[in-house]
Structure 1
Amino acid sequence: MQKGEATKQYLLELAKEEFLSKGYSGASVRNIAKTAGLTTGAVFRYYPDKAALFDALVAEAADGLTNQFKAAQNAHFDLIPTNKVNESTDLSTDYLNHFINYIYDHFDAFKLVLCCSEGTRYAHYIHDLVELEVAQTKVYYDRLRQLGVPNRKVSRDVHHMITSAYFTAVFETVVHDMGREDAIEYVNEVAAFFNHGWNGLLRIT
């Protein structure tokens, strides 16, 4: 590894410790530079500002999960023309297990996003995922109704609150530093609870 690249990686490790300890708002590039034995200006030659340091630590993992989440939503729409809508719950659970393993493969990045991101573009990460889910799910069930598959309409406010509760519960695994195996067991129990609730609420027949 070349010296410049090694310095960049070293700075990222120090920045991660600073952000985890103080959060984004409380973190100081000056402290990171001092610990690295560099001037603040030298740090800015590698990363133009504090936001760039944070993004370098979390963007790939956080944006990657968002893109995978969008792909999972599309997969549910793929069930419609093949008359496999009844497999939707199993598909959701399969994706959930994939997501939780992905999150744990990038645990520190998601710890930063969930606990230390106030003041960054990731401050409302869970909310943004919830908004995606609510919007796409409405389209999904509207399409089912157009095809003659009965399901009860649920108000957007109710849908948003339930989805927010579900996503928050899943990400609590990271917030509370739960081990991977315990997290997998926990999210599957949470999913079973919410799936039964949705089926009862929507009255899918």
Structure 2
Amino acid sequence: MTESKAEKTEKRLLAYAKAEFMEMGYAGANMRTIAQKAGMTTGAIYRYFHDKNALFAALVGPTADEIMQHFEKLARFQLKMLEQNNKIEELAESSDGLLQVVDFIFSRFEVFDLLINRSAGSAWENYMDSLIEHDLASTQAYLEKMVQMNLLAQTPLPRHLAILVKQSYKQVLEIVASQMSREEALEYMQLLIPFLYAGWSTILRKNTSEEEAT
């Protein structure tokens, strides 16, 4: 279907806006600069987007929703595997899951970059925190299922679990924060995956063994 003039203008505007946000970050980006590069007046931009935040949201919003859905799907899959296999994931399974996350990040790297490194001052600056909070709920549900299945004596304290989940996310998302190439990221994951797996496995198995000892 042929694009209308308005659709072409909006697409061009978003392309220049993305370049400006990538270079200057949200706080430093200037609507007048975006307008000039797009060959428009500043007033013309406001006919498409009522402010800078709306322009930023148009760039990151759809993919941000997709990111949330991806991690929700991954959480459901992990819970299903737990129920079917009656055990926590092995290292190879954890590796596959985290490497899929890496692939997902690199397929949408610019949006991850905008959200993690360049969103300060926008309505999206706490997006990653909200993603972590959402995943914390999924992790809690996973651990509670382990308790129900007698695979775990009790879940860690909520405040401790929140710290562990947040730090795990930060370690994975360091790929974006540090602007790693795909090759660098895969080398990094070869170290990080067994590190995370050993830590979480030790916590969960220690919890169970302590209960059995009593």
TM-score by length of 2: 0.85
After superposition, the Cα gap between the structure-2 partners of 1:81 and 1:163, relative to the gap in structure 1 and judged at 3 Å, is closer
Partner of 1:174: 176
What SS is found at the alignment partner of 2:151? coil
Q: Percent identity?
A: 33
**Residues 90-121 of structure 1: CA deviation (Å, up to 9, x unaligned):** 44432322221121111111111111112333
Superposition pairs for residues 1-205 of structure 1, below 5 Å? Answer: 1-87=3-89, 90-203=92-205
The one-letter code sitting in structure 1 at the alignment partner of 2:160 is V
- When residues 55 and 89 of structure 1 are mapped into structure 2, their CA distance, relative to the original with a 3 A threshold, is farther
Q: CA deviation at 1:89?
A: 5.2
Give CA-to-partner distance per residue, 1:31-51, whole Å, 9 cap, x none: 211222211121122223212
Q: Alpha carbons of 1:152 and 1:88: their partners in 2 closer, same or farther (altered >3 Å)? A: farther
Change (3 A) 1:87 1:194: closer
Residue by residue over 1:137-187, the C-alpha shift from the partner in whole angstroms, topping out at 9 and shown as x without a partner, is 122212221222234531222222222122112111112221112212313
Task: Give the whole-Å Cα distance in 1 for the aligned partners of 2:98 and 2:142.
Answer: 18
Change in Cα spacing, 1:27 to 1:69, as seen in structure 2 (3 Å) is same
User: Structure 1: where are the runs of 5+ without partners?
Assistant: none
**Kept after mapping to 2: 8 A contact 1:126/1:167:** no
The one-letter code sitting in structure 2 at the alignment partner of 1:58 is V
Q: 2-side partners of 1:88 and 1:16: how far apart?
A: 40
Q: In the alignment, is the contact (CA less than 8 A) between 1:79 and 1:88 conserved in 2? A: no
Look up the equivalent residue of 2:146 and give its one-letter code: L
Work out the CA distance in 2 between the residues paired with 1:132 and 1:173: 21
Deviation at 1:198, TM superposition (A): 1.0
Q: Measure the CA separation in 2 of the matches of 1:154 and 1:106.
A: 33
CA distance in 2, matches of 1:12, 1:96: 31
How far residue 22 of structure 1 moved from its aligned partner, in angstroms, is 2.3
Report the 3-state secondary structure (helix = DSSP H, G, I; strand = E; otherwise coil) of the residue aligned with 2:85. Answer: coil
CA distance in 2, matches of 1:169, 1:150: 25
What is the letter of the counterpart of residue 112 of structure 1?
L
Superposed CA offset, 1:2-39 (max 9, x none) = 43322222211211122122221222212211222211
Give, as a single letter, the amino acid of the residue that structure 1 aligns with 2:193: A
Aligned positions, number: 205
Query: 2:94 and 2:69 mapped to 1: Cα distance?
Result: 15
Partner amino acid, structure 2, of 1:153: T
Given that 2:60 and 2:115 are in contact with CA atoms closer than 8 Å, whether structure 1 keeps it comes out as yes
Structure 2's unaligned 5+ residue stretches are 210-214
Structure 1 residues 139 and 22: CA distance shift in structure 2, 3 A: same
SS of the counterpart of 2:89?
Answer: helix
Give the counterpart letter for 1:114 in structure 2.
Answer: I
Query: Superposition RMSD on alpha carbons, in Å?
Result: 2.1
